[in-house]
Homo-oligomer: A and B are copies of this chain.
Amino acid sequence: MADTEPPTATAEQTGELGPSKSELKKRAKALEKEKKAAEKAAKQKELAEQTAAAEVDYAKEFYGSLPLNQSQSRPRKPRAEIASLSSRAGETVLLRARVHTSRAQGNKMVFLNLRQRTDSVQALLVVTPDKVSKQMVKWAAGLAVESIVLVEGVVEKTQELIKSASVSDVEVHVSHIYLVSGVDGRLPFSVDDAGRPETAVEVEGQQYNRVLLETRLNNRVVDLRTQTNQAIFKLQGAIGDFFREYLTANRFIEIHSPKLQGAATESGASVFKVSYFKGSAFLAQSPQLAKQMAIAADFERVYEIGPVFRAEDSNTHRHLTEFIGLDLEMTIEEHYHEVMEMLDGLFIAIFRGLREKYKKEIDVVRQQFPADEFKWREGPEGTLRLTFKEAVDILVESGVPREDLDDINTENEKKLGGLVKAKYDTDYYIIDKFPMELRPFYTMPDPEDPTLSNSYDFFMRGEEILSGAQRIHDPALLCEKMRGKGVDPDSMKGYVDAFRMGCAPHGGGGIGLERVLMLFLKLNNIRRASLFPRDPKRLEP
């Protein structure tokens, strides 16, 4: 291009005043700078070409062809798990992992911290004649953090424990390294920064970037890569497993009920409206009606794990517009406490399971979210059960005016949690016998005092995590209670008819999965317990 461009006139050629000495000096400096930049660019280009060629060689050696990303060949060389490396000293392994950090030492050596989920290991690339070239080391040193690489190397015992890696007694001496997936653009924050406690911006005298929740959620894919989040969602899955395991052992079967409903039902609460062909539908705010109908259809004991939708415009730390409901419903033989005790047994099974099988993950989360260990009562004394009246008395005793306690609001709930913890040393308890007027129309009234109901809430760290009750299975009583709450029984004909065709006494409850996870770990915001949370202001990512 430069050859064909017409020469441009300089100030000197066009006569006028010549440049000053300082101006000349400036120009010389600028020229020098340009020259250096051009040299640097040329060097970088050359290096890139060399490393690209090297990359192809390495890849061919590994795969027989390039690129691997379209499934060109299948040499069947298994990849190693970082967690397994401690026991594999001396072996040559093939490892796919993220570059968590990279640190060059001179131009002959580079240290990589390689990460897989909650595990990491140190890898070392050293210039070695006929094996690892200088370019290769330079190229490796320039790899963007969060790139995914495939490395081949020998696992070697280290002299000293490597504090920065979770597998600290070995490191990998890399002979080959290949880029599987690079990073295109700038990371919104480093995974290291995202893994630090949000309150601690200074660690051992060093200042770090604080990553705000909003920023995390906007870039959730990167945020989820922290060891903390990897552990949190492993624990979320575990809660689901323990839930199913306990209920299967107790003869429950899993059902799936439709989330699209023909009418905006249940207790008149806010529901989302859906355009349904030429008409409308509504998103279920719980599987309540369906699971009761499953009982009327003789399924005896059912559970469901699925999304529930709440169109409430509240941006609190504990509300989502979409969350996962762990719901169950069962027939009652004699008394609704059978259901309450089944639910209690279920929670104990979940708590025990987490403590016994997921200590590692809980400890990982604790590092970012410090919290007292979650406490519950076991053995002969069992779970603490208070009646609503007893709960109110405890609050009154502590100074809350009784006239404020027709219902226990969020603030008083939290306060009660503190009082109960102080008095009974438990983070988990049940409140039974709620006033009838606080509960939905389908709640069974207490047989002796019609102002009370056969209903209960379960609490963790002073926050409600389950609401449940015996339900009305008698159609006449149900219709009466519906009318009392301003619901027209004809608007829910399919539901009411289910009981007209004969239905056993039954009860159940609904658990918020994200709440259990948030409160067990004390994450302080429910969004942290949801993979891609939804609230009135958030529908992405």
Contact = CB atoms under 8 A, between A and B. Distances in A.
A404 interface: no
A536 interface: yes
Interface in A522-538: 530-534, 536
A196 to B, nearest CB: 18
Interface in A346-380: none
A63 B298 contact: no
Nearest to A182: B502
12 contacts: A71-B332, A77-B334, A96-B333, A98-B298, A116-B298, A146-B501, A221-B501, A224-B297, A257-B532, A274-B274, A281-B539, A494-B541
B148 A503 contact: yes
A72 B449 CA distance: 11
Interface stretch (A129-137, A159-167, A202-210, A229-237): A229-237
Interface string A306-322: 11010101000000011
A276 B539 contact: yes
Nearest to A256: B324
Contact of A148 (B187, B290, B504, B536): B504
A333 B237 CA distance: 24
A299 to B, nearest CB: 7
Nearest to A297: B224
Interface stretch (A45-53, A259-267, A393-401): A259-267
A233 B255 contact: yes
Interface in A433-477: 444-447, 454, 470, 473-476
Contacts of A260: 272, 309, 321-322, 534, 539
A300 interface: yes
B259 A72 contact: no
A540 interface: yes
A4 interface: no
Contacts of A332: 71
Interface in A475-489: 475-476
A387 interface: no
Given A117-B298, A256-B324, A281-B539, A293 B221 contact: yes
B272 A273 contact: no
A540 B494 contact: yes
A148 B333 CA distance: 12
Interface of A: 63, 68-79, 96, 98, 116-117, 146-148, 180-185, 187, 219-222, 224-225, 229-230, 233-234, 236-237, 240-241, 244, 248, 253-263, 272-277, 281, 283, 290, 293-294, 296-300, 305-307, 309, 311, 313, 321-322, 324, 331-337, 444-447, 454, 470, 473-476, 494-495, 497-505, 513, 530-534, 536, 539-541
A298 B539 contact: no
B539 A504 contact: no
A274 B270 CA distance: 13
A281 B498 CA distance: 33
A68 B505 contact: yes
A456 to B, nearest CB: 12
Contacts of A324: 256
Contact of A298 (B183, B225, B257, B331): B225
A298 B100 CA distance: 12
Nearest to A284: B307
B494 A71 contact: no
A475 B184 contact: yes
Contacts of A222: 297, 501
Given A69-B473, A230-B298, A237-B254, A540 B262 contact: yes
Contacts of A263: 540
Contact of A335 (B71, B474, B499): B71
A98 B277 contact: no
B504 A71 contact: no
A181 B503 contact: yes
B447 A72 contact: yes
A338 to B, nearest CB: 8
Contacts of A447: 70-72
A248 B241 CA distance: 10
Contacts of A236: 254, 256
A240 B259 contact: no
A420 to B, nearest CB: 25
Contacts of A76: 334
Most buried by B among A69, A183, A221, A294: A221
Contact of A275 (B187, B237, B273, B299): B273
A257 B224 CA distance: 13
Given A258-B534, A272-B274, A321-B260, A333 B78 contact: yes
